[in-house]
Structure 1
Amino acid sequence: MKELSVELKDELATVQMGNHLADVIKDGAIIYLHGDLGAGKTTFTRGVVQGLGHKGNVKSPTYTLVEPYELAGINAYHFDLYRLGDPEELEFMGIRDYFELNSLCLIEWPEKGAGVLPQADLDITLEYVDTGRKITFIANNDKGASILTLLKQK
């Protein structure tokens, strides 16, 4: 499966979709999150991170660029590159160290890191539809396609 789109009626549905994705990601992935400000990228990420077992807040790392979550069996990293001035800044922070085999990297505003970030397994776009949202998943490789196949079965 290459693409999947789902209507999300509210914030709870967005969090639940993140929980579903967490259920099917077992060995990490690189995920790019696209969407306008307020479209639900951080809300979706909260669902993923909490679905992986994190208890507590999941805040947007707008000023710190990355928020790490060390969880049982997987390390999750939530990046928000909105305030990134230059992709080279990622090299100075040791960005490559985050992309280990068993890491889940959720990256908001990935276009700000173009040329430095590795290719995403999944591109996820959240967009406004009436009073809700639509989420679209696009697989960029076999790993992403496998994740989507499992997600569709949820």
Structure 2
Amino acid sequence: MEYLSRSEAETEALGERLAAVLTPGAVVAYRGGLGMGKTAFTRGLAKGLGYTGRVTSPTFTIVNEYEGGRLPLFHFDMYRLADADALFDIGWEDYLDRGGVCAVEWSEQVADAMPPETVYVTISRRPEDDRARTITIEGVELP
């Protein structure tokens, strides 16, 4: 399904809606360039899962863990990883087995590691409005 977001708040709200339908072990794989709103979407996911703390991009840490909500959220940034082998080296399978939600920025870098039931979120800039985004969600229906 395709959605239009005209602001960071709308992007977060869409992430919050997605969180409502996610189950333990879910993987949300983002596609989209730098500055598209992947971290804003993840802030919405965290809020929708019941996490109330600060959510930031894990660019330099590879993964941030957010616990205390309905499900834990593991927020990955794969930009600096060379390939899927590097993801397995940091314990990808352990994260999948922990019963939380794995949100994966730059999932293109590790496409081979994404499970078949992955939810894909593609975020792109609207050509007619630099601030607006088209957000396509595949693999699940939103309420």
Paired residue total: 140
Rounded Cα–Cα distance in structure 1 between residues aligned with 2:132 and 2:41: 13
Cα distance in 2, alignment partners of residues 40 and 51 from structure 1: 17
Q: Deviations over 1:73-106 (max 9, x none)?
A: 4121111101113432222211100002732111
Of 96-105 and 125-134, the range deviating more from structure 2? 96-105
Does structure 1 residue 45 correspond to structure 2 residue 47?
no
- What is the rounded CA distance, in whole Å, between the counterparts of 1:88 and 1:101 in structure 2? 20
Give 2:77's aligned residue. 80
Cross-structure match for 1:133 = 133
Residue identity opposite 1:19 in structure 2: E
1:124 is paired with a residue whose SS is strand
Q: Percent identity?
A: 38
Q: Which residue of 2 aligns with 1:64?
A: 61
| Runs of 5+ consecutive residues of structure 2 not aligned to the other structure | none
Look up the match of 1:16.
13
SS state at 2:4 partner: strand
Q: TM-score, normalised by structure 1?
A: 0.82
- Return the letter of the residue paired with 2:24: D
Q: State the shift of 1:120 in Å.
A: 4.6
Match of 1:32 in 2: 29
Question: In 1, are the aligned partners of 2:27 and 2:101 still within 8 Å (CA)?
Answer: yes
Question: RMSD of the TM alignment (CA)?
Answer: 1.7
Counterparts of 1:5 and 1:106, CA distance in 2: 19
Supply the AA of the counterpart residue of 2:15. Answer: G
**1:118: which partner in 2?**
115
116-125 or 30-39: bigger deviation: 116-125
Secondary structure of the equivalent of 1:74?
A: coil
Q: Quick one: which of 90, 94, 101 aligns to 1:93?
A: 90
